[in-house]
Structure 1
Amino acid sequence: MKKVMLVEDEELILQGIRNIVDWEELGLKVVHMAHDGAEALEMWEKEPVQIVVTDISMPEMDGLTLLRKLRDQEEQVRFIILTGYDEFAYAREAVRLDVENYILKPIDEEELIRQLRETVRKLEEMDRKKLTYIDEKTQWMHFLNGKSEKSDGEKFAEMLGLATEGHSYHGAVMKWNLDGLKEKKITNMIVELKKEEHLRIVHLPPDSLLMILDRGRMDEAARSEEQVREYFSELQNQMESRFNIMTFICVGASFQRFEELPEAYRSAKKLQKYLIIEGYGNCISLPQIQNRKTESVRMDETQLRKFILKKEKEAAVDYIEDLFINNIRKDADVSSLYQMAVKMAMLLQDMKKEYKLESGRFHDVSELMETIFSADDIHGIKTAFISEIVEIIECMHEEDSQYTPVVRQIIGEVQKNYREDMNLKTLAHRYHMNASYLGQLFQKEVGCSFAQYLSNTKNGIAKELILNTNMKINEIAKQVGYPDTSYFYRKFKQSYGVSPASMREMKKY
């Protein structure tokens, strides 16, 4: 059943409307009865309806204001206006708001029922069109994804009014940012784009358009690749300025036979990953990215790790901001950005495991990867990493709060001076404590001996240098405080099960 709302400030009339109509016989159900526009709007937001029967002159919020507010939220809701004012201005405004009818009081029961039947018929017709629309989009997606017969190309070309041969075409995909965007704006933009003489469009819900530019007969002067991109770029500027919609356009390969459209579509879709670097408001084509360098975006893992371990939240956040905003060039290949992001995710995962941080508070690697690859822009990735790093630092602060002050000081000493020849006896003397007692206290609170903690710290830093630098193994050994390379090999293998040299061989680029 279709849902109905009745809005009338006079209780007697409101109840009369409710009782003079056999709503069930019309396939309708009255779910709301309100006394003014403000009350009606509140009820509609809790449970929307398909039909609103409303008076115009009411306290708090009049009927036309209510109609305007509901129309902004739902274009398909239908309205029947009841009023005692036979004035042209009201009727004209009602027509502009696309109401079903304008009925004068006292209400003619038969006229109201006739209008309700007509409204139900219109809603059913809209539902049928919607189902046809969905079915048509499903067929399009099957075709574009190469899952339908090749002969279907002729059918789809005919649907768009395009020649199946003898013409040259260019395919492009427009994607828009859905955040805070009303469907009405998209509808208006599509209507405007359909006016372009040589352009055909297919809406691919929820956030994309396939655009096909007919470049004319192949024996005529055809537009160059750059001219095609400039055409779509200018079109983009017009749509964004007119409808305030942020878009990203990818221009795919040209084609002559309509059966080749799916391949052109896929070539354009592949370019959408560059949204993360280019951002909304840009239009790119295949030639623009073909010569991009795949040089990796450089991340100093040792520096980032140091900021986190020293719990320097502000420094860590500033480092991530600078890395993503200032160090990623517009001409970078997007794969280099993803490689760097994956490395960072793995670094954070290793740190969480190494320091046994509470896993329930963090994203696991798969969740972080999903965030990375689904982000629309660099800011989305940057925000995800900043959130994770801040959570790690705060968790470390909480872990520290469980330590006694002397153990906390010793941990800080190790993080700062791990290269030096440190031992528990010397530290115990410095803090005026019994070495045996201090050793027991450290073991109890940290979960391992002081010697093991020092070794883990040295070997963890050595591992980062092995995987992320070209330093020689003996240089790394000295860098982390092992003057004897053989001893370093032995301690490293105890921690990771492989020698430093083997780990370097196994690393993945």
Structure 2
Amino acid sequence: MYKVLLVDDEYMILAGLKVLVNWEEFGFEVVHTSRNAKDALTFLTEQEVDLLMTDITMPEMSGLEMIEIAQRVNQHFKTLILSGYQEFDYVRRSLTLGVKNYLVKPVDKEELKKCLRQIKEELDEEQAQARITQQYFKNSLIRWLKDELNEKEFFQLIEQHHLEEGHYYTALKITAPVEQMAEISAAFAGNSLLIEGFETENVLLVIFLGPRKDLFWQLYQLQKRVPFSKSVIVGETVSEWDNLYESYEKIQQLETLAHFYPDLMPEKVWSKQVTGTETPVSMLSFNKALMIGDRQTIIAAFAELFLQLRQGHYPPEYVRYVSFLIYSDIIRQYPQALVESSEEMVEKIRQATQIIEVEELLTRRLATIGKEKVRQQFAPQVEESLQKITKDYQTEWTLKMMGDQLHLNPVYFGQLFKKETGKSFLQYVNQLRVKKAQQLLLNSPQNINEISEALGYNNTNYFSKIFKKLNGLTPKEFREKYAQGYTPIESEELLE
């Protein structure tokens, strides 16, 4: 039912309006009546209404003045004006305030019914459009998290929703009782983008816009008011919008850790960070190094992580936690490094009593990459798609194009591809093309424009952005840095 507020200084008129029509029959419910404008404004500060039906001439404040004040504080409602006067000035002014109609007292029953039908149609249409807009916004945010949003779509998103560029971005997932969700959502509404009901009704996905320390302070303050009885999982903090997927992927890794290996998950990691007892170790440089694929770069980034762990004097449980994330990143980028089951490796990490033991375990695992010619086996449809992508990597493949070629629904194929490979279809295509770009940058005399064209990119700037997004270096910087020495951790044969 749409909510109605009736305002008139005459009690008998208010009583008559309540029974003049069957409001419920038209989809409305009279939730309050007021004898003056001030009482009505007080009610409007506490509750929202969909329709305001008010007299014009009342003591102390007119109905039109009340409407203007309510609109200035962003109250949104349809309005019907009542008056015993028919002067044109009243009508003209009410129209400037968006009043739907002007009814002369005594109100004609049939005319009121006609107005209510018209207003309900408009409210229904607005509500349906709002649902479509909200769903589009939610879908856009989810695609952004999953690295399926291109640059044009991102700028459309920030323009349509009046967002700002240049933030730090952090994805976090909050699971809490449904009755706590409204307060938790309200706490983040001012500086975050929210996906409510992300998977189930009691899950909130937040994209926090701002420095990581501000996020942890906000969580700390919220925790004191609303003790989370379930969980908060915080992803990596990134400084570029197109790296947000790294933050979300970290959440997925941490969920796996929390679900299968709860003893490896440090308790309230974020609360320790906000109180200054622990500074988070960033995995971004290591992830970029894995994509670059140079053995020495990966070893250096790996050594830097363990140097931070030693210098920070982190407790054993945190070292094991970071070690699991390192291992997870290695096998996600280089599945052939999985020479044993994950359970075996995790058990070894769990049993380690010294940081040097864990470091040596992971060092040995890194050393196996490229030593064995291991190729994963996928479902036939995914296998066929990989062959097509590898053969025609110059093509700007999309899920729909591949789905059409395989005679599969694109949504189903996208889900199957992610399940089989651990990467979204677009991620896989971009990574393959960037790997080909690395080879050309190192082994051919072609300039960057020629390489971009050879790979099928229509825009060199776009190619450079994709390359830097994945490697942390521009094509020019990559060529200059590795021209004199690049040792691929993965053999060229495995890339074919």
> What is the TM-score of this pair, normalised by structure 1?
0.33
TM-score of the aligned structures, taking structure 2 as reference length = 0.34
| Higher CA-based Rg | 1
